[in-house]
Homo-oligomer: A and B are copies of this chain.
Amino acid sequence: MENFTFYAPTYFDFGKGAEQHVGELVRRFGGKKVLFHYGGGSIVKSGLYDTVKKCLEAEGIAYVELGGVKPNPRSGLVYEGIELCRREGVDFILAVGGGSVIDSSKAIAAGCCYDGDFWDFYSGKAKIQQAVPVGTILTIAAAGSEGSTNSVITNEETGYKKGAGSDVLRPKFSILNPEFTCSLPPYQTAAGATDIMIHICERYFSNTEEVEITDRLCEAVLKTMIHETPRVIEDPQNYDARANIMWAGMLAHNNVCGVGRVQDWASHHIEHELSALYDVTHGAGLAVIAPAWMRYVLKINPHKLVQFALRVWDIEPRENEEKTALKGIEAFERFLKDIGMPLTFAEIGADEKDAELMTSKLLNTKDTEGNYVQLRAEDVMKIYHYAATGEM
């Protein structure tokens, strides 16, 4: 096990009616003038929009609004948010929505405290030192941004989709009421579940030895997702299954499952190029990329894929490691297919002719991607090739 620090001081308020506490929580964490940041009409339809306004007003908290966050959130709205916050003297950002809204809020929060271009944080030119405090009301179980230090933004001008992170971006509070996720369509639900599972896989696939406790925690979250996801696909109104998935989504990305080990993150970064180019739902992109990544690295480094097969998918050991591991990957692919996720470029409208462009963007500032296996450009090309053709 490697040395580590772990600090996750987000206050979680989980369950039915938790959104009613938003005013009191904003006040508790020092918010006097709030940016109320959200996406489109779904929070209006669910009544959450009105509830938030009512709760803020009841506490006498002033606010300005900025809606319009889209999936794969864009830099343009972040610039607009930063300007609005500065002009209005905002001291707290309230993100109401899914991971895109929270990520957009985090980018605005960091950008407000920085004299340069906020994109410097995402391009790697600068490190986030300070941010306006952020609180969230989560409405989609997927990104884990409600408990994480991270944010991913797409630069509209350059087409780059990049992440940035800092302890100061960890939300002060997050309100999680699973009822708000019950109206999510099956495709988005399944894409969210896939994202959650791959957040775990990025941590699970590690060469760090002797990390039994985090291995077991990772397996616990994956087992939960395998059990609960088909239940919500079949019955979207199943509160308890939604609740288990929602909390699993937070645990998958606040890093409690990732401490003390080198993590991978190749699948995420390879997928980011896909969703930056085609604006595909991130989780759906991961369903295409992650199994292709697994099939590719299997030939080079099978050991953790064997454990994945045995412990997560309950595969009986086969005549050799590779065959055992392959059965695990096949079980995962079958699972993804059954919950309605795509597995190929064709299903998401991607084209292999862009593989070279995506690979060069991915590796524009580094020679390799990932840690479980360090992938060079030719390796990444082969993963895109498998996703496009089903042939290794």
Contact = CB atoms under 8 A, between A and B. Distances in A.
Interface of A: 1-18, 209-213, 216-217, 219-221, 223-224, 227-228, 240-241, 243-244, 247-248, 251, 256, 259-260
Given A14-B259, A260-B243, A248 B8 contact: no
A227 B256 contact: no
A11 to B, nearest CB: 4
A230 to B, nearest CB: 13
B14 A244 contact: no
A216 B224 contact: yes
How many copies of the chain does the oligomer comprise?
2
7 contacts: A1-B240, A3-B18, A4-B15, A14-B259, A213-B224, A216-B224, A220-B220
Contact of A9 (B3, B9, B209): B9
Chain A contact residues, majority secondary structure: mixed
B4 A213 contact: no
A17 B5 contact: no
Contacts of A216: 219-221, 223-224
A3 B7 contact: no
Given A1-B243, A219-B220, 16 more contacts: A3-B14, A3-B18, A4-B14, A5-B11, A5-B12, A7-B9, A7-B11, A9-B11, A14-B260, A210-B241, A210-B244, A212-B227, A213-B221, A216-B224, A217-B220, A247-B259
